[in-house]
Structure formats: C-alpha cells, structure tokens
Amino acid sequence: MKNKLNQILILLLFFIFCLNSTSYAQITSQELDALVEEAISKFNVAGVAVAIVKDGAIIHNSGYGVKSAASKEKVNEHTQFAIASNSKAFTTTALALLVEEGKITWQDKVVDHIPEFKMYNAYVTENFNIQDLLTHRSGLGLGIGDLMFFPDGSDFTIDDLLSSFQHFKPQSAFRTKFDYDNLLYLVAGEIIARKSGMTWEEFIKTRIMKPLNMDNSYPSLEAIKDKSNLASPHNSADGELIVLPNFEEMINGAAGGIYANVDDLCNWMLLHLNKGKYGKDLENQLFTEDSQNEMWKIHTTTDVNRNPRYNSHFSGYGLGWGLTDVKGNMRVSHTGGLPGMLSLTMMIPDLNLGIVILTNTEPGGSAFFSSVGLTIMDSYLGLDDFQWIEKNYERLSARLESGDEVTEKVWATVAKANDTHIVSEDYIGIYEDAWFGKAEVFMKEGQLWFKSHRSPKLNGPMAFYKANSFAIKWEYQDMNADAFAMFHLDEDGRAQGIKLKGISPNIDFSFDFQDLDFKRIKSASNKE
C-alpha cells in the first residue's frame, strides 16, 4: 500500500512539474511556415519576414512572399522593411548611451539643450524634460502635428517643428494621460544631434547598428545605396495588391525612419534580452542594466487589456516600449506603421524570448503580425490554439466594411448634391493655420480645389456635400485620408475660415486634420 501511495505521489509531482515547466509544446518551424502562409493568403499580404530568438539563439529566421507584387522577387531574412515606430526604441537607446556618458540626464529640461523649444504654456515649457519627449504624456492629443510629415514630401524643418507646439491646444493636463505622438521623438532626435555632434542617423548607424553587426540595416531610406533587397510598400484595400512609393522620412528618423531586416533585428532583440550585453560570449556591453531597467519601467500608465486569456494586471509605456504582463510574465513590445509597411517587435524577458515580424502591405499587415505574433507567443506560454487568424480576419473585415459604408454614403450624398447655389468666389482665397502654414482654395477646370502650400501631396478637388461643407478627394491615395472641409461664413455668406475632418472612421491618426484652424487672409477679389 505504501509503495502504491509513493507511486501515486511521484506521478502527481511529475504532473505538476509538467504543468509548470517552460518546456511547452512550442510551435515548430514547419508549423510556423504553414501558419505564415495561411495568414499571407487570408490577409492578402505581399511579403513578410519572421524571426524568433530563444535562450540566446536565433531559432527561426525566414522571409515569405514577395518584395514587390510587380517584380515577384522573393523576400528573405535580409530583405529590408521600414520598421516605422519600432525605430523609437533605437532613439531611447541612443539617449541612454548619452546618459551613461554624462552628456545628459533623463530629467534634464529640454530647454536647457534646445532653448528655442516652446510648449503651449510657460509652466510646461519650463518643466518639460527629456523623458517627457519619450512617454506620450505631454497633454497634447493623439498624433498632434503629424501632418507636418504625413503624407511625406512637405518642406517643414526642425525649426518649424520646435516652434509649432506653442500653437497646439492641450487635450489633458500635463503628465496625466497617454496620447501617442511622433513629433516629440523628433525633438529627442535633435537632442541626440546637438549633444553628440552627429546627426541622429549617424549616431544610430555608428553607435548601435555597427557594434551589433546590423550590416544590412539603415537609419534612413536615403542611406540604402543598394536597394535590390528592399521591400516595396503595398495597399490591398480593394483586393488587388498595389505597389506604393517608398515613404520619404523628413527632419530626422527618430520617430520612424529605420529600414531593417529580421536577421539584424535578432541581434537587436538579443541585446535587450541580455540587458545591454552582446557578442559571442556576451563580452561586450552597449548599455548597462540600469539603463535597461529605465527603458523597461512604466513611465505612463495605459488601460489594461482585461482579456482573461492572459490575466494581465498592468499596462503602460516605458521609453520607446509598451509594457504589460501576460500569464505572469512581463511583455515588452512595440508596433510600427507607415503607408504599406507594418511591423511588430515583442519580447518576453522571463522566457528569454523575442519575436519580430515585418510586413509590406496594409490594411492586412497589422492583422497579420497580430495573428502570427500572438500565436507564437501563446505557444511559448503553453496556451491552446486560439485561432487568432480567424478572429482577427473577422475584426478586420468588420472594421473595413463599417468604414466603407461611411465613405460610400458620403460620396453618394456628394453625387446627388445640388451645388447650383454655390458662389465659388465666396470660398476662393488664401487661408492660413498657425503651425501648418498656408492653404489655397482656387478654381481648376471649373471645380473648386484645395491645396496646401507646404505639404504638396495634400491637394485635390472639392465637391459640395452639405450646408457649408465640401468633401476633398486628395490626389494622394496611398492611404485612406480624404477629408471634409467645413467653412465658417460671415453674415454675407463669404468664407472666413476652414476646419478639416477625416471622412473615414478608419483614417490613420497621423492625419490630424482636427488640429488645423485655417483663417482666411486673402479673398478672390484681392488674390495676388
């Protein structure tokens, strides 16, 4: 009887050990290949690259699909993709190096290094520190001022950017609420340039990429001399893969300028998983564990995803990284998005696990990296197959369908609208916004047109919609960004100002039309 009890106890202990062991039935490379191919087909993505690092080694590293729907050339592990906002962690790492060298501190006031920096009130200006640039807690709204570089091709300079913040209206109290922004990362890039004597691009290449042997990654599109292995961005909104032009980053790349491949990004993830150490035997150290802890510490809290699947308790933003817990393990991650380029970096330090996924198609790219990334993560957490592809496909389809219904109704209303009462001269003129500059409403081929003077891709015909509102169909169609132009009229019916608003509910937040307030400065009668 005693021996039998001992046998039962041993079996019970073994069962408990199996439940708590980290040696779960993890996804194999063959299963991952099949998963990726299924997701490529489901989400109509041209090409992707996926890599996994585990316990200090690269265990999967592969490309799938094509770099371009036109050339049909295959993606491989060295194919460069725009990683967009995954560049932000490179910027915070660069700042960490300057902190360790004693050239700055995290709490330094921005005005001490950039005297011309000016926020929306004196208190915020005087107290805004370097970490405030990185943690999305400025008090300004989501995507504030992104129209300076979305779409690309504008002529805004760093001086324009530094003087713009005083004109924005805060949406919350300083340091109380998370609202994602890009412009303040460009200011951080300027600090790196002023304190290091190098451009942001030079610093990233020489101080981070070169030591890590990221030989096929670049801090900017311009830096890529041989573009033979560069993925092209695509749009598949109408079911057909359309090749888009590459996005030209402006001012500096601190918010989203890097082009990299999954092979090099494995070295990047291993650096962070090893707390700043790198090399064959981790004999080199790029930054200290203290810097790692500062980057991976929550500085701004965000709402927790209460999905019981992961039993998460906290969520927030560190320095260039999103932070939460999944099944008792901290997850460090970030996503990135530019026209036709979407990416995911995700690490679970407790499991010594890193996952990177790069894609070259929207709108399906984000659903792709979410589905594949979560499936990989779940396998290492010992969770069941949640059918992420099907669930995300349903969500994406519903979102696109809902957005299409809205835009179709708008253009149907435009087609039926009676604009015979419109007096074009009442709207023609030059308008000016305090931070975005001048825009013009003029006649072209018998129709009213809108064009921005500083962002030339924002131009297109205006069609009467309702009341004092027109719908603008931009000539730029790389992203879904068509907008309403709503005129403010005086007592005689002459336009005095314009407010803009995106038509589609699915418009990217970087088209922050809501932050514009154009005032008419010249009318048709005195137009030069």
How does pLDDT run across 149-197, given as a tens digit for each residue?
Answer: 999 999 999 999 999 999 999 999 999 999 999 999 999 999 999 999 9
Structure tokens at 471: 């719908």
Give the model's pLDDT for residue 10: 41
Give the model's pLDDT for residue 526: 43
Question: Taken in order 181, 186, 189, 194, is the CA torsion positive or negative?
Answer: negative
Model confidence over 3-50: pLDDT tens digits?
544 444 444 444 434 444 444 479 999 999 999 999 999 999 999 999
Q: Is pLDDT of 527 > 50?
A: no
Give the model's pLDDT for residue 524: 65
Is residue 236 within 8 A of residue 243, CB to CB? The reply is no
Give the model's pLDDT for residue 32: 97
What whole-number distance in Å separates Cα of residue 419 and Cα of residue 446? 13
| pLDDT, averaged across the chain | 93
- How many angstroms separate the most distant Cα atoms in the chain? 106
Q: How many CA atoms lie within 13 A of 252 on its CB side?
A: 28
Question: Mean pLDDT across the stretch 449-462?
Answer: 97
Characterise 251 by phi-psi region: left (phi > 0), alpha (psi -120 to 50), beta (else). Answer: left
Residues in the chain: 528
Question: Mean pLDDT across the stretch 115-141?
Answer: 98
Within 10 Å of residue 120's Cβ, how many Cβ atoms? 17
Model pTM?
Answer: 0.93
Question: Mean pLDDT across the stretch 456-474?
Answer: 96
Helix axes 183-196, 88-100, angle to 10 degrees: 30
Model confidence over 469-511: pLDDT tens digits?
999 999 999 999 999 999 999 999 999 999 999 999 999 999 9
> Which domains does the chain show, CATH number per domain?
30-386 (3.40.710.10), 424-526 (2.40.128.50)
Confidence of residue 306 (pLDDT cuts 50, 70, 90): confident
Model confidence over 72-100: pLDDT tens digits?
999 999 999 999 999 999 999 999 999 99
What whole-number distance in Å separates Cα of residue 196 and Cα of residue 202? 10
Structure tokens at 170: 């805060």
259-298 b/e (C-beta count within 10 Å ≥ 16 → b)? bbbbbbbbbbbbbbbbbbbbeeeeeeebbeeebbebbbeb
Structure tokens at 41: 């087909």
Confidence of residue 250 (pLDDT cuts 50, 70, 90): confident
Strands 437-444 and 429-433: antiparallel
Nearest 5°: the CA angle 319, 335, 231 is 125
Alpha-carbon distances of 169 from 31, 120, 330, 354, 521, rounded to whole Å: 50, 7, 35, 39, 22
Give the model's pLDDT for residue 1: 44
Show the beta-strand stretches assigned E in 349-458.
353-359, 361-362, 429-433, 437-444, 447-452
Give the model's pLDDT for residue 42: 97
Model confidence over 345-360: pLDDT tens digits?
999 999 999 999 999 9
Nearest 5°: the CA angle 434, 438, 439 is 125
Which ranges constitute the DSSP H helices of 237-346?
262-273, 289-295
Residue the block writes with tokens 């995803």: 305
What is the percent of the chain with per-residue pLDDT over 70, rounded to a whole number?
Answer: 94
Q: Is pLDDT of 528 > 60?
A: no
Question: Mean pLDDT across the stretch 302-307?
Answer: 91
The contacts of residue 125 (CB under 8 Å, 6+ apart) are 111, 117, 118, 119
E strand or H helix at 492:
none
Give the model's pLDDT for residue 202: 98
